[in-house]
């Protein structure tokens, strides 16, 4: 059974790609042509040249101002722009233009039931997107004060007479974010319209954190990429649904990101507001939500490499070590080259090197100092992309109790990973033998819900 479960690791990516291809084939001929008919240009912008008077950008560099104006013009004309945000680069189109939005799905090969997040340049823009009779409650006010502009997406009841159904995929809510990146804010403000912007990558690929990543995935599929340098955060935004808080005092985090559950809880405490904060898949599940997702990443493979991802942490006790040993022993013999993502000075690379009873090459990508969670977050997606490009057979990531580990867990669970109950079925002698190597130091972190289909 262990062998069969691990064999599925190699098949899930192919299945996901077939689904993406099926979604692309369902597009109109005009949309397909639009998705592959551009001479993509990269335009640099000096981030330091942008300041704000309230929400109004002031750009103190002529070339940067010209490039931002060009990006705004493309968006107003119904085109697409790759633009930097503090989280990852986004693929933007005018959110209220029902002719422009479908081009995003075509360019990414994105399933047409995977909703888009809408980005705004001021809280005052909410009235264009949210049901007029829905009062923004105290918990949302507190969260917006604490994390906007920034890496937090909030779900609101959608104003259906303004927001096209292709943005929400027919759902009754819309995800809205006010980004903090100066370039994103300037482009959105000068375009004069909210911008729908998922990550600027082919669907299922790790999210891009540089303009070069966008060019690698989408060259020829969009007109313009604005280069604002590497993303400062490097993780996707946290998506939070608090639409029912007024009656049940519950805040559901549907997708983990830079803003952690603990940060949300701290915000509620400091605001003297009652709230139960739940992280999806860790604290609860909902079959209906998975079937008809209200946010990206809940139904389809999301920001994952083309190879399995394993999340490892220091073993807390002997049973953890034994469980890990069984999992490691069941890895397919075809595993010849692995990628390792860890912090400076970690003993994970040497532990892995001693674990395998056959030659296995390894490629190391450092996430920076263990004491710097911001560096880990910023380098996470870039590391997944880098190791994936080296054609490794699997990627092992050292876990930490932070937002970046939540995100790795989110992409790792897209595969059928071996769980502890299955590990217990492994041969006892094999467990005892292997517990003397890697398993003495690291445990495999079982992911709840990992049997869920991609």
Q: What are the pLDDT digits (tens) for 68-97?
A: 999 999 999 999 999 999 999 999 999 999
CA distance 156 to 140: 10
Q: Minimal CA–CA distance to 115: which of 196, 35, 218, 177? A: 196
Phi, psi of 324 (to 5 degrees): -65, -40
Position 400 pLDDT exceeds 50? yes
pLDDT attached to residue 358 = 66
Element (H, E) at 248: helix 245-248
Strand order in the sheet with 309-314: 361-366, 337-342, 394-398, 309-314, 442-444
Alpha carbon separation from 232 to 167, 181, 405, 446 (Å, rounded):
27, 9, 17, 30
Q: How far apart are CA 353 and CA 343, in angstroms?
A: 16
Instruction: Considering the chain, tell me which residue range(s) the CATH 3.90.870.10 domain(s) occupy.
Output: 41-279
Q: Quick one: average pLDDT of 205-234?
A: 94
Percent of the chain past pLDDT 70, that is, above it, reads: 72
Cα distance between the two ends of the chain: 20
DSSP state of 91: E
Q: What is the mean pLDDT of the chain?
A: 79
pLDDT at 133 over 50: yes
pLDDT at 107: 95
Give the mean model confidence (pLDDT) for residues 330-346.
Answer: 81
Report which of residues 38 and 244 the model is more confident about: 244
The whole-number pLDDT of residue 29 equals 53
Q: Which of 214, 212, 205, 210 is nearest to 378 (CA)?
A: 210
Q: 118: which strand partners?
A: 176, 196
Question: What are the angstrom distances between the C-alpha of 383 and each of 212, 311, 380, 445?
Answer: 14, 14, 5, 20
Pick the residue with more confidence: 337 or 271? 271
User: Could you give the angle at the alpha carbon of 199 between the alpha carbons of 391 and 26, nearest 5°?
Assistant: 85
**pLDDT tens figures, 251-299:** 999 998 899 999 999 999 999 999 999 998 889 888 877 777 777 666 5
Please tell me the predicted confidence (pLDDT) of residue 198: 95
Structure confidence at residue 14 (pLDDT): 37
Task: Name the percent of the chain in helix, strand, coil, to the closest 5.
Answer: 40, 20, 45
**Cis (ω within 30 of 0) for the bond into 149?**
yes
When pLDDT is averaged across residues 144-169 and rounded to a whole number, the result is: 97
Local confidence band at 408 (pLDDT 50, 70, 90 cut-offs): low
Which residues are paired to 312 by β-bridges? 398, 444
What are 416-446's pLDDT values in tens digits?
222 233 333 233 333 333 333 333 344 433 3
Q: Is the pLDDT of residue 143 over 60?
A: yes
Q: What is the CATH number of domain 309-436?
A: 3.40.50
**Above 90 in pLDDT, residue 19?**
no
**Residue 384: alpha-carbon gap to chain centroid:** 12
Q: What is the Cα–Cα distance from 83 to 209, expressed in whole angstroms?
A: 10
Average the pLDDT over each of 12-16, 38-42, 290-294, 410-414 and give the range with the smallest value.
Answer: 12-16
Helix (H, G, I), strand (E, B) or coil at 99: coil
pLDDT for res 44: 97
Do 447 and 417 contact (CB within 8 A), yes or no?
A: yes
E strand residue ranges, 95-166: 117-119, 152-157
Ranked by mean pLDDT, the top range of 24-38, 206-220, 303-317 is 206-220
**b/e per residue 283-315 (b: at least 16 CB within 10 A):** eeeeeebeeebbbbbbbbbbbbbbbbbbbbbeb
CATH of domain 41-279: 3.90.870.10
| pLDDT on residue 30 | 52
Spatial distance between the Cα atoms of 208 and 228, rounded to a whole number of angstroms: 13
Q: What percent of the chain has pLDDT over 90?
A: 52
Q: The whole model's pTM is what?
A: 0.77
Contact 445, 409 (CB under 8 A): yes
Q: Where in the chain is the domain with CATH 3.40.50?
A: 309-436
Q: Tally the residues of the chain.
A: 454
Question: Which pLDDT band holds residue 203 (cuts at 50, 70, 90)?
Answer: confident
Query: Residue 242 and residue 20: Cα distance in Å, rounded?
Result: 30
Q: What is the rounded CA–CA span in Å between residue 349 and residue 437?
A: 13
SS3 string of 181-205?
CHHHHHHHHHHCCCEECCECCCCCC
The yes-or-no verdict on residue 410 having pLDDT over 60 is no
Q: What pLDDT shows up at residue 421?
A: 30
């Amino acid at each position: 059974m262990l062998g069969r479960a691990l064999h599925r690791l190699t098949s899930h990516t192919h299945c996901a790609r077939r689904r993406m291809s099926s979604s692309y084939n369902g597009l109109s001929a005009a949309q397909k042509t639009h998705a592959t008919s551009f001479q993509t240009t990269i335009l640099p912008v000096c981030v330091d040249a942008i300041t704000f008077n309230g929400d109004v950008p002031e750009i103190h560099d002529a070339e940067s101002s010209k490039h931002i104006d060009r990006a705004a013009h493309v968006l107003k004309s119904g085109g697409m722009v790759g633009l930097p945000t503090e989280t990852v680069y986004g693929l933007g189109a005018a959110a209220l233009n029902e002719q422009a939005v479908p081009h995003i799905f075509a360019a990414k090969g994105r399933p047409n039931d995977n909703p888009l997040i809408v980005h705004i340049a001021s809280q005052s823009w909410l009235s264009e997107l949210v049901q007029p009779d829905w009062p923004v409650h105290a918990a949302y006010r507190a969260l917006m004060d604490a994390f906007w502009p920034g890496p937090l997406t909030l779900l609101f009841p959608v104003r259906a007479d303004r927001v096209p159904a292709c943005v929400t995929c027919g759902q009754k809510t819309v995800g809205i974010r006010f980004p903090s990146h100066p370039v994103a804010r300037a482009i959105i403000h000068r375009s004069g319209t909210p911008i729908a912007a998922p990550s600027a990558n082919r669907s299922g690929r790790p999210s891009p954190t540089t303009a070069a990543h966008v060019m690698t995935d989408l060259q020829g599929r969009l007109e313009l990429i604005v280069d604002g340098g590497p993303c400062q955060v490097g993780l996707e935004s946290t998506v939070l649904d608090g639409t029912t808080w007024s009656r049940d005092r519950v805040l559901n985090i549907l997708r983990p990101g830079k803003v952690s559950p603990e940060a949300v809880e701290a915000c509620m405490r400091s605001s003297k507001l009652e709230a139960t904060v739940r992280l999806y898949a860790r604290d609860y599940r909902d079959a209906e939500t998975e079937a008809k997702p209200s946010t990206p990443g809940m139904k389809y493979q999301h920001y994952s490499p083309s190879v399995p991802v394993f999340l490892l942490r220091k073993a807390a006790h002997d049973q953890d070590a034994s469980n890990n040993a069984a999992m490691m022993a069941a890895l397919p013999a075809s595993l010849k080259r692995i990628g390792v993502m860890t912090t400076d000075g970690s003993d994970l690379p040497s532990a892995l090197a001693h674990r395998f009873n056959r030659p296995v090459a390894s490629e190391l990508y450092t996430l920076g100092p263990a004491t710097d969670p911001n560096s880990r977050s910023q380098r996470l997606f870039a590391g997944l992309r880098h190791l994936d490009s080296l054609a490794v057979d699997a990627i092992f990531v050292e876990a930490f109790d932070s937002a970046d580990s939540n995100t790795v867990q989110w992409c790792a669970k897209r595969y059928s990973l071996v769980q502890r109950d299955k590990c217990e079925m492994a041969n006892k002698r094999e467990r005892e033998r292997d517990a003397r190597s890697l398993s003495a130091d690291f445990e495999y972190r079982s992911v709840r819900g990992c049997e869920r289909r991609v």
